[in-house]
A and B are shown apart, each in its own frame.
Chain A
Amino acid sequence: MNFVAEAAREGFLTVFSWPNILYPVAGTLLAMVFSVLPGLSGVTLMALAIPLTFQWQPLPVLMLFGALVGGATFMGSATAILLNIPGTAPNAATMFDGYPMACQGRAKTALGCSAAASALGSTFGVLALVALIPLMPVLIPLLGPPEYLVLAIWGLTTIATVIGGSVLKGLAMAGLGLMLSFVGFDPRSGAVRYTLGTLYLQDGLSLIPVFLGIFAVAESIDLMASGRATISGSTRLDQLAGSAREGVRSVFRHFGLFVRSSLIGTVVGTIPGLGGTAAAFVAYGEAARSAGSDGHFGSGDIRGVLAPEAANDAKDGGALLPTLAFGLPGSAGTALLLGVLTLHGIRPGEQLMTTELPLVFALIWSLFLSNWMSSLVGLSLAGPLSRLTVARTSRLLPPILILAAAGAFAYRGRLADVWLTFGFGLIGYAMKRYGWPRVAFIIALVLGPMFELNLHLTLSLQRLGRIQLWTRPAFLVLAVLLALTLWLARSRTGLIGRTDVPRTRSDGKSPPQPERPLDGGGE
């Protein structure tokens, strides 16, 4: 344990010395600017930076890339809250409650909460990473397809808590999301499914254009059709309620939820291939489930911002674990990082985790610094950023639509992605207008591939006699936890199978209720 502490101290002194600190600072600022554009994130910036940094020494490269991984998350959530545009895919979960808060004039509170949850979540992830480094060789082999399957089911069951008004519509939307997640190659047989004979769909539906369409474009259409003057409905800045400080305080008020969400983020982050999107969605669902009837998730509950933000930033620490210890990347960012390590002759594994541990800690401190720095910059910008919610929609709509189109195009350089975005925009608008819960659709779309792949793997492995589910401790623990949370949710609120969700505004008044039941209030 002493060598870990010594390496941590050495890494700290390296990162926080002049001129080394310039690398993480520059990386953070670059990532923050870049992540405003949806579809582009720290990952894109990392890809662009690889050829530029090829001649550099490993240490500055690791410090820069650590900052690029950590710096992109806050601005991504800022656009999700203010404009309903997720800067990065994991920020999509923040939109569900962040944007309604902005619509209610509480953008500053949401931004403050997001910044604090991000900074503290990343700290949690980094601490977990440091604590788990010595335990890595024991922990990672415990997780396999059955455990991932339970996590996927856990995520999918969250749909029950967010479908709101009509269970029928919620389940149908989840089914549709699952079906669209099956587009592309079948993981078992390799057969091509639902591609309509086009090459474009063989890799499956890209999440970024779908997210942009279902939320950003759909909201833009709604703004145009409704003729609202501003997002918040108010034209004066002094009428915006809440403050960034209130948002920061909310993290401490719901500290238990923060710890749970960060834990989910760290655990999901360690699972190779899952990434922050799954972490944010699972944490959001868990927050909605644990809130029970007290929550008004989907219509501006601060906990709906706190949970995905904490999980999304905590996952960075978790994702570094398998990457550095076994060369198994936990997310797209860490996959690129792995490539960079290999390019610079650094091989993940025992050597990196022992003799080269100070290098690892330089990366960790850089990640830590960038998360805090982006959150502090974000907090100081909360006021100016919230002005966007009182800007005229006639001036705001063109940039939103252009951002959506450019983000979809920049993702893969295909105009078909732009058409897909606007096509899903129309579908998303119709879903919103006729009360079909978009959240259920998105959760199923995100978790569908993980569910199907691990179901096949688990069944095949069991058929071959390679695994016995009841002898796997991690599987048993996760299965018991899943059953417990479902039982708690049901017994506490009768959440599953309910036909209506009481919704309350922040001021305690009830929002306008239809005289007759209006289906699909799960937005």
Chain B
Amino acid sequence: MKALERSGFTLSLLAGSTGLLCLTLALPPTARQVPLFVVVPLVVLLFLQLFRDLRGARSGWYDGSVPEKTTAWPRVSEETQAGVGPADEMEPKPRRFVLPWVLGLPALAQLLGMVAGPGLFVLLFLRLRGRTAWRVALAGSILTTLGLWLLLGVILETI
């Protein structure tokens, strides 16, 4: 599955770069000189990488016991196993449950504006994902709304 995801990402980069190549070819000669010098090798490199990914997927390189790279070394699970402290771990959820939260914030900002949207987002996040008490979630939401109104509305006057 991971190998397919990996190849899929490479493929999408390749598709994007091929699109850039097409756009470059449509530019006036003076404007495309330097970009062409960059985009052609880029497409070739991505082709090579896709080939490597697919070959790796076939031979089972990536679906083996390769650990996920991360910047945090003492993983929480290790700490917990060592009895180090009460790791109040967020429940690991499939990645598809992350996407609505990530896109939810700009979507709410688009729908309700840059003051109310993020305020509602904080309330929903703290309550539904962080399982925080209503009082705390509400306080966080009100603080966020006020802070953003003060910054964007009063100080910067961008809304």
Seen from chain A, the residues whose Cβ lies within 8 Å of a Cβ on chain B are 37, 44, 48, 99-100, 103-105, 168-169, 171-172, 175-176, 178-179, 182, 186, 188-189, 191, 193-194, 217, 220-222, 224-236, 239, 299, 392-395, 397-398, 401-402, 405-406, 409-410, 413, 415, 418-419, 421-422, 425-426, 430, 432-436, 452, 455-456, 505, 511-512, 514-516, 518-519, 521, 523
B residues less than 8 Å from A194 (CB atoms): 20, 23
Check if A235 sits within 8 Å of B79, measured CB to CB: yes
Closest Cβ neighbor of B114 among chain A residues: A409
27 A-B pairs with CB atoms under 8 Å apart are A168-B48, A176-B17, A179-B42, A188-B31, A220-B102, A222-B70, A225-B93, A225-B95, A226-B92, A227-B90, A229-B87, A234-B74, A392-B88, A401-B125, A402-B121, A405-B114, A409-B109, A410-B156, A413-B156, A415-B106, A418-B110, A425-B102, A433-B68, A505-B73, A515-B64, A515-B65, A521-B69
Q: A228-B75, A402-B121 are in contact. Are A179 and B20 (CB under 8 A)?
A: yes
B residues less than 8 Å from A189 (CB atoms): 28, 30-31
B residues less than 8 Å from A505 (CB atoms): 73
Check if A221 sits within 8 Å of B31, measured CB to CB: no
For the complex, what is the distance from the CA of A398 to the CA of B142, rounded to whole Å? 13
For the complex, what is the distance from the CA of A182 to the CA of B37, rounded to whole Å? 12
Which residues of B54-72 are within 8 A (CB) of A?
A: 61, 64-72
Interface centre among B41, B126, B130 (most CB of A within 10 A): B130
Q: A186-B30, A221-B98 are in contact. Are A234 and B84 (CB under 8 A)?
A: yes
Known: A182-B38, A406-B151. 4 other contacts (CB 8 A): A172-B42, A182-B34, A224-B129, A418-B106
For the complex, what is the distance from the CA of A266 to the CA of B93, rounded to whole Å? 48
The residue that B110 contacts in the complex, of A239, A392, A415, A434, with Cβ under 8 A, is A415
- Nearest CB in chain B: distance from A64 CB, A: 17
Encode contact with A along B132-159: 1 for CB under 8 Å, 0 otherwise.
1000000010001000100110011011
Check if A516 sits within 8 Å of B64, measured CB to CB: yes
For the complex, what is the distance from the CA of A430 to the CA of B31, rounded to whole Å? 31
The residue that A172 contacts in the complex, of B30, B49, B64, B84, with Cβ under 8 A, is B49
The residue that A224 contacts in the complex, of B88, B98, B114, B140, with Cβ under 8 A, is B98
The residue that B71 contacts in the complex, of A99, A239, A410, A512, with Cβ under 8 A, is A99
B residues less than 8 Å from A405 (CB atoms): 105-106, 109, 114, 118
For the complex, what is the distance from the CA of A308 to the CA of B152, rounded to whole Å? 30
Check if A230 sits within 8 Å of B109, measured CB to CB: no
- Sort A-B residue pairs by CB-CB distance and give the 9 closest, nearest first: A227-B92, A394-B130, A175-B42, A413-B158, A191-B31, A186-B31, A103-B72, A189-B30, A172-B45
B residues less than 8 Å from A99 (CB atoms): 71
A residues less than 8 Å from B88 (CB atoms): 229, 235, 392, 394
- Nearest CB in chain A: distance from B50 CB, A: 10
Interface centre among A189, A406, A523 (most CB of B within 10 A): A406
A residues less than 8 Å from B126 (CB atoms): 394-395, 398
The residue that B5 contacts in the complex, of A172, A220, A229, A434, with Cβ under 8 A, is A434
B residues less than 8 Å from A182 (CB atoms): 34-35, 38
Q: A191-B31, A193-B35, A236-B85 are in contact. Are A172 and B13 (CB under 8 A)?
A: yes
For the complex, what is the distance from the CA of A135 to the CA of B23, rounded to whole Å? 48
The residue that A422 contacts in the complex, of B61, B90, B105, with Cβ under 8 A, is B105
Any chain A CB within 8 A of the CB of B116? no
Interface centre among A100, A222, A230 (most CB of B within 10 A): A230
Check if A398 sits within 8 Å of B144, measured CB to CB: yes
Closest Cβ neighbor of B158 among chain A residues: A413
- Nearest CB in chain A: distance from B72 CB, A: 4
Check if B49 sits within 8 Å of A169, measured CB to CB: yes
Which residues of B85-121 are within 8 A (CB) of A?
A: 85-93, 95, 98-99, 101-103, 105-106, 109-110, 114, 118, 121
Interface centre among A37, A100, A434 (most CB of B within 10 A): A434
For the complex, what is the distance from the CA of A521 to the CA of B70, rounded to whole Å? 10
B residues less than 8 Å from A100 (CB atoms): 71
- Nearest CB in chain A: distance from B82 CB, A: 10
Check if A395 sits within 8 Å of B130, measured CB to CB: yes
Closest Cβ neighbor of B12 among chain A residues: A430
The residue that A402 contacts in the complex, of B67, B72, B144, with Cβ under 8 A, is B144
- Nearest CB in chain A: distance from B29 CB, A: 9
Check if A227 sits within 8 Å of B74, measured CB to CB: no
Check if B102 sits within 8 Å of A226, measured CB to CB: no
Q: A179-B38, A233-B73 are in contact. Are A515 and B84 (CB under 8 A)?
A: no
Closest Cβ neighbor of B41 among chain A residues: A175
Interface centre among A179, A220, A239 (most CB of B within 10 A): A179
Check if B76 sits within 8 Å of A228, measured CB to CB: yes
Check if B72 sits within 8 Å of A435, measured CB to CB: no
For the complex, what is the distance from the CA of A398 to the CA of B52, rounded to whole Å? 38
Closest Cβ neighbor of A104 among chain B residues: B73
For the complex, what is the distance from the CA of A422 to the CA of B104, rounded to whole Å? 10
Any chain A CB within 8 A of the CB of B27? yes
A residues less than 8 Å from B17 (CB atoms): 175-176, 179
Check if A418 sits within 8 Å of B69, measured CB to CB: no
Interface centre among A104, A186, A188, A222 (most CB of B within 10 A): A186
Q: A228-B72, A234-B79, A398-B140 are in contact. Are A418 and B109 (CB under 8 A)?
A: yes
Q: A188-B30, A422-B102 are in contact. Are A224 and B118 (CB under 8 A)?
A: no
Check if B72 sits within 8 Å of A217, measured CB to CB: no
Closest Cβ neighbor of B99 among chain A residues: A426
Check if B148 sits within 8 Å of A406, measured CB to CB: yes
